[in-house]
Chains A and B, each alone.
Chain A
Amino acid sequence: GAGVSQSPSNKVTEKGKDVELRCDPISGHTALYWYRQSLGQGLEFLIYFQGNSAPDKSGLPSDRFSAERTGGSVSTLTIQRTQQEDSAVYLCASSFAAGLPSYEQYFGPGTRLTVT
């Protein structure tokens, strides 16, 4: 079946502009994560959606970052007033978590964001 998809695959934007990154999780997966991976760096947790619960936003680096998940499926990560330090690969992952993050996460291909 279809895996996790993300769009766009690449995004180049000018400093100060807003960007929206999209994630389509695997159908039926209740948990969805956003991570940020800077060049040669680790997987930085950003936000976690689990079913209908309030999202865990504890990893968002500033109030310029926000995310929503509509209808328990598609998620959008929005970065307002982009800065050069926002340049990174943004990865989305979903899992069938049933209340606990103890199931395999399936990652999307990522969106490479470059802020010029």
Chain B
Amino acid sequence: GENVEQHPSTLSVQEGDSAVIKCTYSDSASNYFPWYKQELGKRPQLIIDIRSNVGEKKDQRIAVTLNKTAKHFSLHITETQPEDSAVYFCGGATNKLIFGTGTLLAVQP
């Protein structure tokens, strides 16, 4: 079945810097890759997603890139702000959605 690995587990950046979170997946049939943000004490919420027929997608300060050959995808956050501090989960899906182990992002003011 699908397995999704996520790195790093924790990431600390200065406000205004960029943050990059990377994920790899095992099932080459995976065709959908969402990213969820979970703020402390809250439920996860979708922030961006990408499908396998697209290499890159951008939404304001966040972007996701997908390399199907290497089976990895990344989340890029530019001009980070303190409110970006949260746990971020990547997901990979074939017939069901499996999440990575999460990255705790801390943006230092």
Give complex CA distance A48, B95 in Å: 10
Q: Is A42 within 8 A of B43, CB to CB?
A: no
- A side interface size, CB within 8 A: 20
Give complex CA distance A56, B36 in Å: 22
Interface size class of B (residues with CB under 8 A): 20 to 34
Q: Mark B23-64, 1 if CB is under 8 A from A, else 0.
A: 000000001101010000001111001010000000000000
Q: Is B43 within 8 A of A91, CB to CB?
A: yes
Asked if A52 is at the interface of the complex by the 8 Å CB criterion, the answer is: no
Asked if B93 is at the interface of the complex by the 8 Å CB criterion, the answer is: yes
Give complex CA distance A42, B98 in Å: 11
Q: Is B32 within 8 A of A43, CB to CB?
A: no
Asked if B97 is at the interface of the complex by the 8 Å CB criterion, the answer is: yes
Cβ-defined partner of B100 (8 Å) among A35, A42, A110: A42
Asked if A108 is at the interface of the complex by the 8 Å CB criterion, the answer is: yes
The minimal Cβ–Cβ distance linking A97 to chain B, given in whole angstroms, is 9
Measuring CB to CB, which residues of chain A are less than 8 angstroms from any residue of chain B?
A: 33, 35, 41-43, 45, 48, 56, 58, 91, 93, 100-102, 104-105, 107-110
